[in-house]
Each structure stands twice: as structure tokens, then as C-alpha cells.
Structure 1
């Protein structure tokens, strides 16, 4: 498997964990902990509305949102490797979300990965923008 597939696989599996947690499919505190372990302690994010979050803010967000979006469906497409180096990579993708009875949303996202000394991947930065 080439390195770009490792990043793409991580985007996809991270979003499965997010969907399971937010939809209430997974409710064990260990699930939230496993999800949060994918993010660097130095993590930063810009949400589609322009709000900035750090790791503490992301932790509070996920811990408070478990099960808050029953029926949530998510789909990821257009994965693109923008840059890759020994230190990590930058990947962009398109994210679609839907909830029963609600308007579907679409966002364009870019994640910056950092590699740990043992070769693990951590989300270092995420920037999301509402798709036009």
C-alpha cells in the first residue's frame, strides 16, 4: 500500500468513528477516547463558519456531542494528496452530511497530518469550508 492510501484510509476511518460517536451508534467512553487519540495535542481547526478550535475545544466538542445527531450519514469523496513528506502530508476531501428531516450539508476540507516517530498518523490541522 502506498503512503497516500494510508492517509486516505485514515480520513475514511476517522469519519466512521466520528459518525458512530455523533449518531449514538457507539456510546462507550472508550470510543470517544479512540477518536480523540487520532488528533495531535497541538491540533487546530477552522470550522466552516470560521470558528477556531484547539485540542481542548475539540475534546469538549466531541465529549459533549456523543449521540447528539441520531441518523447521521456521512460520505467522503474527492480525496486528493496535496503534499507528502517524511514529516506528514496534506490531504483535501469533500464531506457530505445528512440527517433525517434536515437539509444536507457539504463541505470542502483540508487536513494536515503529522507522523509520529513510530510512523503513526495524527491530525495536526483541519480547515473546513462550506461548499457553494
Structure 2
């Protein structure tokens, strides 16, 4: 049986695998749909440059981004569950985006809310990204 940590880490990794597939592979429309489908209706995020993006804006921006970073791989490491309750999870992790020789990293803190209809029972509600080494 999977532990809570395994379920949470699995969701964090799965979401980033979908994003990498969408941005790094031609014809990966299903991955893009899965990525957006995991976002809560009231999802918002603070990007690395400090811009607040609502779900609709993120979805619109990603709509034409399929295969915009061919070969992209996103490694997710240092997953730390900061809070877990029946209603939500707060998780912090490091994302390393690898494409070609570049490997920029970001530290991310996210709020996921429980939703029995969502993959792994969790839906992404809020994300805050900062640059990291």
C-alpha cells in the first residue's frame, strides 16, 4: 500500500512529467490536457518573475506551447511535505528543467486540495516558484 508521501510525490512527479511531455514532444495534446485538468478551477501561480497567473491565463499560454522545448525533461527532487490535512497538502520541491545543455532550476511551494475525482485524489490550487541553484 502506498504511503501518503508516495501518493503526494507521485502527483508532483506526474504533473511535471505531463508538462515536460507537452512542452518537449510533438503531438502530446493529451499530456497538455492532463496538466491543465489537474489544476483547480481557482488555480493561480506566482511565476519565477513574480507574475501572478490565473488558470485561464496559464491554459491559454500553454495552448500553443506544445513541443516548444523539444526533448525537455523535468526532474523533481527534494520533495518535502510541509503540511497534510484531510482538506489539503502543502508541498515544497525542486524542479530541474533539462533541455539541451541547460538545466535551470526552481524551488516550488504548492498547495494541493483533496478531490476524489482528481488523479491521486489531489488537485493543484496554488503554486509559487522561485529561482534556485
TM-score w.r.t. the length of structure 1 is 0.90
Matches within 5 A, 1:7-86: 7-25=8-26, 27-86=27-86
- For residue 65 of structure 1, give the secondary structure of its aligned residue in structure 2: coil
Aligned residues: 130
Instruction: Give 3-state SS (helix, strand or coil) of 2:41's partner.
Output: strand
- Residue 35 of structure 1 and its aligned partner are, at CA, apart by 1.7
Whole-angstrom CA distance in 2 between matches of 1:28 and 1:107: 24
- In structure 1, runs of 5+ residues without a counterpart are none
Superposed CA RMSD in Å reads: 1.6
Q: CA-to-partner distance for each residue in 1:15-62, whole Å, 9 max, x for gaps?
A: 11100000025x243332222111101001000110110110111122
- Cα drift, residue 3 of structure 1: 1.6
Gaps of 5+ in 2: none
Separation in structure 2 between the aligned mates of residue 59 and residue 34 of structure 1, nearest angstrom: 11
Output the TM-score relative to the length of structure 2: 0.90
